[in-house]
Amino acid sequence: MEILQQLRSAVRENGFIEVGESHDGSAAWFRKVTPDANTSVHKRLCIDSLTNSATVFWETAPTQLHSKTFRNVKSLEDWLALRPVGHVASMTIAKYPSRVD
């Protein structure tokens, strides 16, 4: 239970507000106060008490949803510190030539 309180504190300190909870209370949902500059979409975050983890969800372009799950507070704090307000993470997809048999 201690890790859940630490995760809640960490996300609040990094600009997230609580916006909901699951019916059984096993998950709490948060939203970043400020939207990402390039998408105008607010990051979402779920703290799951069944897995003792936090998952961040963000969008880099319409219909491109990404997520990252953290199992300890330090790694979550480090990741959030790398993304200043307005920064949008990007993802590069490598293209490989078609296989010809």
Per the structure, the count of domains in the chain is: 1
Say yes or no to pLDDT of 95 above 50: no
Q: Is residue 44 in a domain?
A: yes
| pLDDT at res. 36 | 84
* SS3 state at 61: strand
Say yes or no to pLDDT of 97 above 70: no
Phi-psi sector, 40: left (phi>0), alpha (psi -120 to 50), beta? left
What range does the domain containing 32 cover? 2-81
Q: Is residue 12 in a domain?
A: yes
Q: Is residue 100 in a domain?
A: no
CA dihedral 16→51→23→12, nearest 10 degrees, is: -10
Q: Is residue 87 in a domain?
A: no
* pLDDT tens track for 63-85: 889 999 999 999 999 999 885 54
Q: Has this prediction a pTM greater than 0.85? A: no
Q: Is residue 59 in a domain?
A: yes
